[in-house]
Amino acid sequence: ALGAKARAAGYRLRAFDTIGSTNNEALEAARAGDPGGLWFAALQQTNGRGRRGRPWASPYGNLAASLLIIPDAAPETLGTIGFVAGVALNTALSQSVPGAGVQLGLDAAAIADGQGRFALKWPNDVLADGAKLAGILLEAQALPDGRRAIVIGIGVNVVAAPAGTPYPATSLAELGATVTAQDVFAALSEAWVAMFALWRDGHGTADVLARWRSCAAGLGAPVAVQRDGEVIRGIFESIDDDGRLIVRDGNNARIAITAGDVHFGAT
């Protein structure tokens, strides 16, 4: 079941019960010369990795998936690819995916008005009712021919949320959804294809970012962003067309942030 939709979506899939880290598998495949267009999916990881060197808890039954792609795109555009994944994931979780034959439909109204249960937290967490439901880890691998392989790792708390995180976390089970990791993967891989197709042409990039903004958590609200030992405080204004977080500080200066940890409500 894990495989059918991914193949239908035109990608190959290597599915595992338990693996160290699907991102590690994908990076290894890139180094071994895989042409890209390959998903790795597992029900459990023993060495799951999160953003900024943190571990990612991957208990059995949650979804761990990584996509290896080698995009035929200018390197400067690659920075926005994580947003394609975030929007695809939010779409997959929030609504049924047209044509996918997969009906997660957990919150059909969410995408339409941006006020729904699911929201994207910069750069690419999915929040449900303000608690973290899913995360994305983007990694790149330089290839001998000068191109860059991109690995998009996606972890979704399907059956269990990690305990002891410094932020609130939740799972689809806690939200009352009786879906499996296979269901989520099927919807995700279908939604990815649609969003990636949008991203590939120039207008699509802006369109994907516009969709991201329409699902953004905390727009217009106070944020504190932790960046390499400093904390930037202000109002979360938007993300720009390169996917940078734009914060307006107390002096009305516009600060563009490429990497950091966002905390809402803290001023």
The stretch near ligand BTN (CB under 6 A) out of 10-18, 49-57, 95-103, 234-242 is 49-57
Q: Does 69 bind ligand BTN (CB under 6 A)?
A: no
157 binds ligand BTN (CB under 6 A): no
Pick between residue 87 and residue 136 the one whose CB is nearest to ligand BTN. Answer: 136
Q: How far is the CB of 41 from ligand BTN (least distance, A)?
A: 9
Name the nearest CA neighbour of 235 among 222, 244, 245.
222
Closer residue to ligand BTN (CB): 144 or 164: 164
Judged by DSSP in three states, 73 sits in coil
Neighbour tally for 131: CB within 10 Å: 17
SS3 135: strand
Residues shown for the chain:
267
Per CB under 6 A, 136 contacts ligand BTN: yes
The only residue of 8, 16, 28, 51 in contact with ligand BTN, by rule CB under 6 A: 51
Sign of CA dihedral 48, 51, 55, 56: negative
148 binds ligand BTN (CB under 6 A): no
Q: Tell me the closest approach of the beta carbon of residue 237 to ligand BTN, in angstroms.
A: 23
Burial class (CB in 10 A: 0-12, 13-18, 19+), 164: exposed
Residues 6+ apart with CB under 8 A from 144: none
Interaction between residue 22 and ligand BTN (CB under 6 A): yes
Out of 86, 123, 135, 260, point to the residue binding ligand BTN (CB under 6 A). 135
**Interface segment toward ligand BTN; rule CB under 6 A; list 41-49, 77-85, 157-165, 204-212:** 41-49
Residue with the two structure tokens 């966002």: 262
Any idea which residue has 């590690």 for tokens? 24
- Helices marked H in 61-128: 81-94, 110-113
- In the complex, least distance from residue 253 CB atom to ligand BTN, rounded to whole angstroms: 28
d(CA 172, CA 100): 20
Shortest distance (Å) from residue 181 CB to ligand BTN:
11
Residues 106-125 contacting ligand BTN, CB under 6 A: 125
Among 9, 14, 43, 49, binds ligand BTN (CB under 6 A): 49
Residue 260 interacting with ligand BTN (CB under 6 A): no
Residue 51 pairs in a beta bridge with none
Q: Which of 124, 205 has the CB closer to ligand BTN?
A: 124
Which CB sits closer to ligand BTN, 258 or 267?
258
Q: Are the CB atoms for 52 and 22 separated by under 8 Å?
A: no
Give the shortest CB-170-to-ligand BTN separation in angstroms.
14
H or E stretch at 133: strand 131-142
Helices (H), 201-260: 202-214
Query: Which spans of this chain sit near ligand BTN (rule: CB under 6 A)?
Result: 21-23, 45, 48-51, 54, 56, 58, 64-66, 125, 135-137, 153-155
